[in-house]
Amino acid sequence: MKFIEKLISISRKNNSLLCVGLDTDREKIPKFLLKDHDPVLSFNQKIIESTCDLVCAYKPNIAFYEAYGSKGWEALKKTCEAVPKEIPIIIDAKRGDIGNTARMYAKAIFEDLGADAVTVNPYMGEDAISPFLEYENKCAFILCLTSNKSAQDFQLFLIDGKPLYQIVAEKVITWNEKGNCGLVVGATYPEQLKKIREIAKSLPILIPGIGAQSGEIEPTVKFGTDERGERAIINSSRGIIYASQKDDFAEAARDQALKLKDRINLYRQM
Amino acid sequence: MKFIEKLISISRKNNSLLCVGLDTDREKIPKFLLKDHDPVLSFNQKIIESTCDLVCAYKPNIAFYEAYGSKGWEALKKTCEAVPKEIPIIIDAKRGDIGNTARMYAKAIFEDLGADAVTVNPYMGEDAISPFLEYENKCAFILCLTSNKSAQDFQLFLIDGKPLYQIVAEKVITWNEKGNCGLVVGATYPEQLKKIREIAKSLPILIPGIGAQSGEIEPTVKFGTDERGERAIINSSRGIIYASQKDDFAEAARDQALKLKDRINLYRQM
């Protein structure tokens, strides 16, 4: 099954555009979990169990696992195994390197971890992305306009009157022959998100930046979804997974996820 | 000790600008090593032993280790431990993400692996780089103009008449307050390397792309070094480490490393 089909299928079943970011930091999870053999894994398993009927995807950020070396990698792999098969896993890795190296990253993420999708960086151009696109049923989300403040350092530069992020979006459309490309656009740039959706009508767009990074929900949903109110993947990490430090943390995460899913749906055109 | 001091110190001691890229692929190492407990580690240890008086740095590309999951990470960590303390280790990771995530990558590479330097991607701008720069004695090599063909997709774009890679180089100089920035410039673009060295007179420049990627040595050395013939780190991976498939592989690697070091020195202005 193609990634986009898997995404739309679960998105309809769960009536959700919400993606929960599993940026799990050992130092921020409830203290009582630290006695477990693998506290990060225990935490993630509980979060997944309590939210899996509310989401369209999970997005673990690989940096949070690599920071703990090989043990972290094991925790990430087992976290991926804990996600129900019908829900896509997007590894937020922002990789990008020359061909023979990109193939190794693709192998790590799609084969070793068994994930469905990955975020990648466009700076090095097409040949750094194409090894990911050889996996027809996976998806590469290419950074287009990121949610951070310094996105402005380069991504808004005008080239012959056109901003760099727009040129990236247009290039990605030409790379999308197998229908397995997506874009990453921060919720913190709603006007630009609107422009990008106009250009990339059918691409899935992964949208970080609501919540802790203060992107607003209404324009994110209105501008980020396609004409059927789909194909936007709206991520929240810290606001959901760290909703409580007590032993009700999983239910508290569920409450926050449910609230956010419903608020997102308020603005969907369906 | 600052990274640049460590680099110059070993570079003078070994009279070398050569960096050996440890892009070790299980499928390309001599078959007789596959019976070892950790074949990649055994291979790297032998390569390091046989070349450590000929190099100014080692550059493992992290993708080749991640492709083997947590075992790969262990092999990388032990490879770093096998490098003599006086030789800098540059992890080629091309990372880049928002602040709280970049901090995790910095922790993984500088603390868990104990490396001296890392390659990072500029697309997300300053706040994705600054967490790496908080480590005063480490170094972040920012991708400027990469060695691959598709570097042309975006990096050569003109913004008000100035190419993007040049703007990146100029920005990096402003980020270099603690003297711990470097640049990555491919040997495949010698004219641009010359221009970048003129702009970034004192920055270390990591130069991949000779050998398998066909960058030429003479212009690389002439244009990549500073006025004292230093601060260029010229990488070769496949041409050195896979010089032989037999049990003389380490000596064969040494021969190739010695040849390349000497050819590089032919063109240095010292």
pLDDT confidence of residue B191: 96
Is the Cβ–Cβ distance between A260 and A18 less than 8 Å? yes
DSSP track, A225-236: S-TTS-SEEEEE
Residue type, A23: D
Instruction: Inform me whether the C-beta atom of residue B239 falls under 8 Å from chain A C-beta atoms.
Output: no
| B112 to A164: CB separation less than 8 angstroms, yes or no | no
| B159 to A159: CB separation less than 8 angstroms, yes or no | yes
Nearest CB partner across the interface for A63, out of B101, B155, B168: B101
Separation in Å, CA of B269 to nearest CA in chain A: 31
Q: Could you read off the pLDDT of B173-229 as tens digits, one per residue?
A: 999 999 999 999 999 999 999 999 999 999 999 999 997 677 799 999 999 999 999
Q: Report which of B68, B60, B62 is spatially closest to residue B38, judged by C-alpha positions.
A: B68
What's the CA gap between B1 and B96, in Å, rounded? 25
Confidence of residue A11 (pLDDT cuts 50, 70, 90): very high
What's the CA gap between A109 and A95, in Å, rounded? 10
What's the CA gap between B87 and A203, in Å, rounded? 46
Of B2, B77, B78, B94, catalytic: B94
| B143 to A124: CB separation less than 8 angstroms, yes or no | yes
Separation in Å, CA of A125 to nearest CA in chain B: 5
Separation in Å, CA of A93 to nearest CA in chain B: 8
pLDDT confidence of residue A214: 73
What does the mean pLDDT of chain B come to?
96
Domains of chain B by residue range? 3-265
Of A94, A171, A194, A259, catalytic: A94
pLDDT confidence of residue A215: 79
User: Does residue B65 register a pLDDT over 80?
Assistant: yes
Which CATH number describes the domain made up of B3-265?
Answer: 3.20.20.70
Q: Could you read off the pLDDT of B110-129 as tens digits, one per residue?
A: 999 999 999 999 999 999 99
Token representation of residue A234: 């709206």
Instruction: Inform me whether the C-beta atom of residue B141 falls under 8 Å from chain A C-beta atoms.
Output: no
User: Does residue A48 register a pLDDT over 80?
Assistant: yes
Q: Which residue of B has its CA nearest to A92?
A: B97
- Residue B178 annotated among the catalytic residues of the structure: no
What's the CA gap between B63 and A96, in Å, rounded? 10
| B66 to A108: CB separation less than 8 angstroms, yes or no | yes
Instruction: Judge if ipTM > 0.90.
Output: yes
Q: Report which of A269, A270, A236 is spatially closest to residue A254, judged by C-alpha positions.
A: A236
What's the CA gap between B75 and A102, in Å, rounded? 19
Nearest CB partner across the interface for B70, out of A70, A111, A154: A70
Q: Could you read off the pLDDT of B251-260 as tens digits, one per residue?
A: 999 999 999 9
Which CATH number describes the domain made up of A3-266?
Answer: 3.20.20.70
Is the Cβ–Cβ distance between A208 and A187 less than 8 Å? yes
What are the start-end ranges of the E strands in B68-199?
90-95, 117-120, 139-145, 158-159, 162-163, 181-185
pLDDT confidence of residue B215: 79
Separation in Å, CA of B183 to nearest CA in chain A: 14
